[in-house]
A and B are shown apart, each in its own frame.
Chain A
Amino acid sequence: MKLLIFIFILLFLTPTLNAKELRVAVATNFMEAAKEISKAFAKETGHTAYLSFGSTGQLYTQISQHAPFEVFLAADQARPKKTIKKGLAIQGSRFTYASGKIVLFSLTQTLINPKGTLKKENFTKIAIANPITAPYGIAAVEVMKNLKIYKYLKSKIVYGNNIAQTYQFVHTENAELGFIALSQIIKKSSGSHWVVPKELYSSIYQDAVLLKSGVNNPAAHEFLEFLKGPEARNIITQYGYGSSSDEKI
């Protein structure tokens, strides 16, 4: 019994010794990588990063309504810039942590020539992320416009609430194909995909920023430093992102 009480007290005390907590708003495309990074971060520092996911636009809305996030990992540069402009984030804390890649993905193997598939239109639904809130949705529209097929495909588009729901639409085969983030499928081998050439869309530079509410939390500062470090960089490239150093703002 005494031992049990001792263990309990120990359990209660340990996190308070020097381990802190922080809340991070993460764009959904970065979900898997962020989970891995936060695990590595916890291992190294003992701090716990609580991750919340949503589309960049949704997270921005929440932050603008003073959601208690301390770090914002967006899927674009526009929203982090806006948070700084509106005084919601710390000037000078913004940096590009990843550059995203978009893929056309289908669960069926028949997607051999993606350009051909898109032009042939032998499918009924194509899923993309909602462009008003998700940067990957904007990129998807851009790709279709550059391939001069947007007009024809418009009636076949279904909009995911964020890139995760978009992937789910394709994965449940309710849509035959969809534009999603490379990071979502890079560690899974089923289906077929086409990594869209860079020339077909504007680069998806994803910026991180320290939010006002995180200024006095050392863990938030440490998390951003950790994100720049080699271990996090390694995870980020593993998920198919371009590293930020070679493609700067």
Chain B
Amino acid sequence: MLEYANLWSPIRLTLELAGITTIILLLIGTPIAWWLSRSNSKWKDIIAVIVTLPLVLPPTVIGFYLLIALGPQGPGGWIASIFGGRSLAFTFEGLVIGSVIYSLPFVVQPIRNSFDAIGKRPLEVAATLGASPWNAFWTVAVPLARPGFLTGTILGFTHTIGEFGVVLMIGGNIMGETKVLSIAIYDYVETLYWTPAHILSAGMLLFSFVIIFSMMKIERYFRKTGK
């Protein structure tokens, strides 16, 4: 269980989890961000708070509710039963659901900020030029909000990679299914296998540094070129 050959499985699994989570988050986060930016609904603030909650909630709280929700008595168990399972806990799919909730604010917030920054004017111009709202959204709003999408993508991806507490509670530590990088490192440290722990931790450190550094560079580039 502790050979070095096993180092690759958690890395691959973590990248898959982060990749799929980020794609889902962009798909559901974009309309949420757009709605939060444009709507005048009285529910707007409430929804904004709900979306931001995972930012401040302890992972144990998210993990606890997920454990119940994914289990046989919750909606997760119902979904699992369609595919012949009993529970979504201890499955890769369960981790994706958990990660989407856990990283939601990190994707929605930057995109929303970018939408906010555009203001009403460019879309009004597009409308007078005959663009449908759908058309204007894709040809005007999305390109203008590029920095927000980029930041959201990077933050969503890296935050999912750094996920630990939630996975510890709903994962079940299954090699190739739910044993992600952070859990693998935890296991190595807890059993005093410090060489693989060092390898993985140093890799994470380097990776995170590069990501944040390049994000700063890209943001500066966007600011210079004027959105």
**Residues of chain A at the chain B interface (Cβ within 8 Å):** 55, 57-58, 61, 64, 124-125, 127, 130, 132-133, 157-161, 169, 172-176
For the complex formed, measure the closest distance between the CB of B26 and the CB atoms of chain A, giving whole angstroms. Answer: 29
| Cα distance, A125 to B67, chains bound together (Å) | 15
B86 touches A58 (CB 8 A): no
Q: List 14 A-B contacts (CB under 8 A).
A: A61-B190, A61-B192, A124-B87, A132-B2, A132-B187, A132-B190, A160-B173, A169-B89, A169-B90, A172-B71, A173-B73, A174-B72, A174-B90, A174-B172
| Interchain CB contact under 8 A, B191 and A57 | yes
- Contact at A158–B190, with CB atoms within 8 Å? no
Identify the interface centre among B168, B187, B190, B192: most chain A CB within 10 Å of its CB. B190
A158 and B72 form a contact (CB under 8 A) = no
CB atoms of B71 and A158 under 8 A apart: no
Q: Are B190 and A174 in contact (CB under 8 A)?
A: no
Separation of A125 and B77 alpha carbons in the complex (Å):
13
Q: Is B68 in contact with chain A by the CB < 8 A criterion?
A: yes
Q: Give a binary string over B44-81; 1 marks a CB under 8 Å from any A CB, 0 the rest.
A: 00000000000000000000000110111100000000
Given the known interface contacts A173-B71, A175-B90, the answer about A61 and B189 at a Cβ–Cβ threshold of 8 Å is: yes
Chain A residues near B90: list those with CB within 8 A: 125, 158, 169, 174-175
Bound Cα distance A36, B75 (Å): 38
- Residues of chain A with a CB closer than 8 A to B70's CB: 174
Measured CB to CB, the closest approach of chain B to A165, in angstroms, equals 8
A160 / chain B contacts, CB cutoff of 8 Å? 172-173
Q: Report the minimal beta-carbon distance from B200 to chain A, rounded to whole angstroms.
A: 16
Whether B191 contacts A158 by the Cβ 8 Å rule is: no
Give me 20 other A-B pairs in contact (C-beta within 8 A), A127-B172, A174-B72 excluded: A61-B190, A124-B87, A125-B87, A125-B172, A130-B173, A132-B2, A132-B190, A133-B191, A158-B90, A158-B173, A159-B173, A160-B172, A160-B173, A161-B173, A172-B67, A172-B71, A174-B67, A174-B71, A174-B172, A175-B172
Interface on B for A, CB 8 Å cutoff? Answer: 1-2, 67-68, 70-73, 85-87, 89-90, 168, 172-174, 187, 189-192
Q: Is the interface of A mostly helix, strand, loop or mixed?
A: loop
Q: Chain B at the A interface: mostly helix, strand, loop or mixed?
A: loop
- Enumerate chain A residues within 8 angstroms of B191, measured Cβ to Cβ: 57, 61, 132-133
Which 9 A-B pairs have CB atoms at the shortest separation, nearest pair first? A158-B172, A159-B173, A174-B89, A158-B90, A174-B87, A174-B71, A173-B72, A58-B190, A124-B86
Say how far A21's CB is from chain B's closest CB, in angstroms: 27
Identify the closest chain A residue to B72 (Cβ): A173
Give the distance to chain A from B170, nearest Cβ to Cβ, in Å: 8
Cα A61 to Cα B73 with chains together (Å): 37
- A174 vs B68: C-alpha distance in the bound complex, in angstroms? 8
**Once the chains are docked, how many angstroms separate the CA of A157 from the CA of B173?**
9
Q: How far is the CA of A172 from the CA of B189 in the complex (A)?
A: 28
Cα–Cα distance between A57 and B191 once the two chains are bound (Å) = 6
Q: For B2, list chain A residues within 8 Å (CB).
A: 132
* Chain A positions within 8 Å of B67 at CB level: 172, 174
Considering the complex, give the chain A residue whose CB is closest to the CB of B169.
A165
Q: Do B189 and A161 have beta carbons less than 8 Å apart?
A: no
Q: How many Å lie between the Cα of A175 and that of B72 in the bound state?
A: 9
> In the bound complex, what is the Cα–Cα distance between A160 and B1 (angstroms)?
16
A159 to B85, CA, bound (A): 18
- Chain A residues lying within 8 Å of B173, measured Cβ to Cβ, are 130, 158-161
